[in-house]
């Protein structure tokens, strides 16, 4: 039985089939193949076959292995013989393999590329190599111990390690089951320690299940149904929490940027400190670190003592609306070419993997992440997959060769991280997550904005000096409340606590007691408790009695007794304060340092400017220039028009090869070589009406070949009829690398 070659089969396919092939196997199109022969060579290469197999489901992969069992990589096999190995319909799987050129030929002569065996598995379907002489072997006389060995090897893999293979013995002298089977010729000795079960014996042992356990359908996925609005609102809450934590990270690292480890990344102590400051666990803190760096909000300063510092882009992010903040972070996570789930583990050399460590780089991570999210997106809105292991099993069936050793863990990490980011909620994909996958961050931000409740313009002040925000506060109100109170607990309703230190912080920022009384009076839906009024008034009486300016710095106070008390305090000696008047002290230290020292000693000074007004001396935070995102943009897949054009180029290459016929191309010897010879040859072809095989480089730098019948040669341009297209084309002469006359057929 013989069949067509792969090149012949590809040449016979219509353009639609070739476009589908190039879309399914994009590596075949780079660089553009010159003709079908080149395309066939790429289709059959081991690397390309291995990449094509990554997208095959379990059944298609099993069918491909079954073709190898039939030795379709060496000689054509029949569909009937293939179907006989299965108890399910394999026609759809064969059609899929044909569409990807992993199988070619009709049902009577199906072939697969010779490289398939190396690319797929050296022992397809768990069966060993063929020993034709063993076909139809009789196993009736075997003992139970020999049968157990055959059963174990027939289940796969078909090779085993044993010391009994070291010496060849006769059946009469054989003592162990391995030696008996070797003596009977039912096992093959590969080396002194390895035996292999031949394919023919394995098939006999398996009996009516020649391919072993065939998983023909994907496992069922347990799902739960929830109200889509509940899923979206839960994801919206997670999005706001993510934004709040990132804001806290930027504030913390603005004041005290962590050092960059010599090996790269963030140290364990810095990570623990961040987790403590944000009141989150270390795994969430590590994810936040990875997100802010990939989003361009934090970068390595790359100085003599490099640090991880916020960028100027962080300021733009901080002033953005919550939904746009989230979209930036969600897109950064979706495109993150790293695996944060590895943080805290140890590498092959037993070194701890830290956040931002180079060892976390995985270029395929975005693709694998999208694969998990696409599986959730295929479910109806509100439908979730609470069994992550079940979801991993489904994805493993759909693409068993993807993900490597971490395949199942990637699914769990994606669901956990997606939940933290707000793309996944209650094990279902949120509406904003679906929009992010399909349309990008801009539309996703708008979708989240629609899902979030409208911001509230009021708070509830409690008698225990807590302030409850019954929802997302308006930006201006949120800023004022955050200035005068500290977050005690966050969630659907955020609880703030007012204390003396937080009130002083507001005074230091320039607020007055009247401002705070008005804030609580106008914005609280509950009566303002007397205890809060007393706290504000008491702090106001103490605040600002001492006034500091630059001398280095100075302190002034209308109360000479208080000035004397400060001068007598032990802190005054450290700050080198000295009295220059009954109500004035000066220090050589900066004002901010003096005020911090006095506050630590129990005083409540305030900073003032030249006009006597209170100054806000809080540091604005460290900033470095933004360098944009750390990721490399994913290559844009070619459009249908581009693929169709590439197929036309392949057809043109075939036409050129058919027209020239190899030896029928010649360059007249009298024309010499070089550009002038090429020009003379083209002019000669134009005069005689003959075809020319032209090699040229197009505007994209891609080499191509055409058969042209020149009409006009001059002015730096060749104009003639492209034989493959039947249309007139123009070629700049400087892009033509060579030309040869096409000899006419004697017939």
Q: Write out the DSSP string of 238-276.
A: HHHHHHHHHHHHHHHHHHSPPBBPTTSSB-HHHHHHHHH
d(CA 420, CA 440): 19
> Quick check: 730 pLDDT over 90?
no
Ranking 34-48, 439-453, 612-626, 697-711 by mean pLDDT, the lowest is 612-626
Tally of CB atoms within 10 A around 547: 18
Report field, pTM of the whole predicted structure over 0.85: no
DSSP states of 32-97: PPSSHHHHHHHHTSHHHHHHHHTT--HHHHHHHHHHHHTTTTTS-B-HHHHHTT-SS--HHHHHHH
Is residue 417 within 8 A of residue 410, CB to CB? The reply is: no
> pLDDT, tens digit, for every residue of 573-595?
899 898 888 888 989 888 888 88
> Quick check: 628 pLDDT over 70?
no
Measured CA distances, 30 to 357, 412, 647, 655 (Å): 32, 34, 13, 21
Q: What is the mean pLDDT of residues 339-355?
A: 89
Give the distance, in angstroms, between the CA of residue 434 and the centroid of all CA atoms in the same chain: 16
Q: Which two tokens stand for residue 5?
A: 């070659």
pLDDT for position 625: 72
Is residue 271 within 8 A of residue 282, CB to CB? The reply is: yes
**Among 281-285, 399-403, 506-510, 647-651, which range has the highest average pLDDT?**
281-285
pLDDT for position 663: 34
Q: In this structure, what DSSP letter does residue 474 have?
A: P
Strands 547-549 and 606-607: parallel
Q: Which two tokens stand for residue 341?
A: 């789930």
Q: What is the mean pLDDT of residues 108-124?
A: 90
> Quick check: 660 pLDDT over 70?
no
Angle between helices 407-421 and 282-294 (to 10 degrees): 80
pLDDT for position 657: 67
pLDDT for position 626: 67
Residue 405 CB contacts under 8 Å (≥ 6 apart), including other chains = none
pLDDT for position 120: 87
**Which helix (DSSP H) or strand (DSSP E) does residue 23 occupy?**
helix 15-24
| Residue position matching structure tokens 């057929």 | 745
Q: What is the mean pLDDT of residues 725-734?
A: 81
Q: What is the mean pLDDT of residues 288-302?
A: 94
User: Is the peptide bond between 485 and the residue preceding it cis, with omega within 30 degrees of 0?
Assistant: no
> Quick check: 270 pLDDT over 90?
yes
> pLDDT, tens digit, for every residue of 430-482?
999 999 999 999 999 999 988 888 888 899 999 999 999 888 888 888 889 88
> Quick check: 624 pLDDT over 90?
no
Q: What is the mean pLDDT of residues 681-699?
A: 82
d(CA 514, CA 628): 44
d(CA 315, CA 490): 23
Q: What percentage of the chain has pLDDT greater than the value 70?
A: 92
Furthest-apart CA atoms within the chain: distance in Å: 122
DSSP states of 123-146: SGGG-----GGGTT---TT--HHH
pLDDT for position 395: 94
Torsion from C-alpha of 84, 90, 95, 99, nearest 10 degrees: -100
d(CA 108, CA 89): 17
Ranking 20-29, 435-444, 483-492, 515-524 by mean pLDDT, the lowest is 483-492
Residue 259 CB contacts under 8 Å (≥ 6 apart), including other chains = 267, 270, 305, 306, 307, 308
């Amino acid at each position: 039985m013989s069949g067509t070659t792969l090149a012949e089969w590809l040449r016979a396919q219509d353009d639609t089939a070739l476009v589908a092939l190039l879309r399914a196997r994009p590596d075949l199109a780079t660089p553009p193949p010159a003709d079908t022969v080149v395309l066939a060579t790429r289709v059959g290469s081991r690397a390309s076959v291995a990449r094509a197999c990554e997208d095959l489901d379990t059944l298609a992969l099993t069918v491909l292995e079954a073709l190898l069992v039939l030795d379709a990589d060496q000689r054509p096999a029949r569909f009937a013989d293939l179907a006989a190995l299965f108890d399910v319909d394999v026609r759809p799987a064969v059609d899929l393999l044909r569409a990807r050129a992993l199988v070619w030929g009709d049902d009577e002569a199906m072939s697969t590329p010779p490289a398939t065996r190396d690319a797929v598995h050296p022992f397809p379907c768990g069966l060993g190599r063929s020993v034709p002489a063993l076909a139809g072997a009789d196993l009736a006389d075997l003992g139970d111990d020999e049968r157990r060995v055959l059963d174990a090897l027939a289940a796969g893999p078909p090779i085993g390690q044993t010391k009994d293979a070291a010496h060849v013995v006769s059946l009469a002298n054989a003592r162990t089951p391995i030696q008996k089977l070797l003596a009977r010729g039912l096992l093959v000795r590969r080396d002194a320690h390895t035996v292999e079960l031949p394919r023919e014996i394995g098939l006999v042992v398996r009996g009516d299940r020649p391919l072993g356990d065939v998983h023909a359908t994907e496992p069922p996925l347990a799902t739960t149904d929830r109200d889509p609005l509940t899923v979206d609102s839960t994801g919206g809450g997670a999005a706001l929490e993510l934004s709040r934590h990132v804001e806290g990270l930027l504030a913390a690292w603005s004041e005290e940027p962590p050092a960059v480890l010599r090996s790269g990344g963030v140290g364990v102590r810095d990570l623990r400190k961040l987790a403590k400051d944000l009141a989150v666990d270390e795994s969430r803190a590590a994810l936040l670190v990875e997100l802010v760096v990939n989003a361009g909000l934090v970068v390595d300063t790359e100085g003599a003592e490099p640090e991880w510092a916020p960028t100027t882009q962080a300021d733009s992010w901080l002033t953005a609306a919550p939904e746009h903040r989230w979209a930036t972070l969600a897109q950064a996570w979706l495109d993150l070419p790293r695996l944060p789930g590895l943080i805290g583990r140890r590498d092959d050399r037993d070194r701890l993997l830290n956040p931002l460590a180079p060892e976390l780089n995985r270029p395929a991570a975005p693709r694998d992440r999208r694969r998990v999210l696409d599986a959730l997106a295929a479910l109806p809105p509100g439908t979730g997959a609470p069994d992550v292991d079940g979801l991993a099993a489904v994805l493993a069936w759909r693409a068993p060769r993807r993900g490597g050793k971490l395949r199942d863990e990637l699914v769990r990490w994606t669901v956990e991280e997606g939940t933290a980011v707000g793309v996944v909620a209650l094990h279902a994909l949120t509406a904003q997550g679906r929009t992010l996958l399909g349309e990008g961050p801009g539309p996703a931000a708008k979708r989240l904005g629609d899902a979030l409740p409208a911001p509230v313009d009021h708070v509830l002040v409690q008698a225990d000096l807590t302030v409850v925000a019954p929802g997302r506060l308006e930006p201006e109100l949120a800023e004022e409340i955050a200035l005068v109170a500290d977050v005690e607990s966050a969630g659907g309703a955020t609880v703030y606590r007012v204390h003396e230190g937080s009130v002083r912080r507001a005074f230091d920022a320039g607020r007055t007691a009247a401002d705070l009384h008005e804030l609580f009076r106008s914005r609280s839906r509950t009566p303002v408790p007397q205890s809060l009024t007393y706290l504000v008034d008491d702090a106001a009486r103490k605040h600002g009695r001492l006034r500091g300016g630059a001398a280095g710095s100075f302190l002034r106070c209308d109360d000479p007794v208080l000035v004397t008390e400060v001068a007598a305090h032990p802190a005054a000696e450290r700050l080198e304060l000295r009295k220059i008047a009954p109500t004035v002290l000066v220090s050589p230290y900066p004002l901010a340092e003096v005020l911090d020292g006095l506050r630590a000693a129990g005083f409540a000074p305030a900073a003032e400017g030249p006009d006597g007004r209170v100054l806000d001396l809080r540091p604005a935070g460290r900033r470095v220039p933004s360098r944009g995102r750390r990721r490399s943009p994913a290559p844009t897949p070619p459009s249908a028009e581009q693929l169709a054009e590439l197929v036309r180029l392949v057809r043109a290459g075939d036409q050129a090869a058919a027209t020239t016929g190899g030896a029928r191309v010649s360059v007249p010897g009298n024309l010499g070589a070089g550009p002038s010879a090429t020009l003379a040859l083209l002019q000669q072809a134009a005069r005689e009406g003959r075809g020319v095989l032209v090699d040229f480089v197009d505007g994209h730098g891609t080499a191509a070949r055409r058969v042209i019948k020149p009409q006009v040669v001059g002015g730096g341009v060749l104009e003639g009829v492209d034989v493959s297209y039947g249309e007139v084309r123009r070629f700049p002469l400087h892009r033509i690398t060579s030309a040869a006359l096409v000899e006419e057929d004697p017939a």
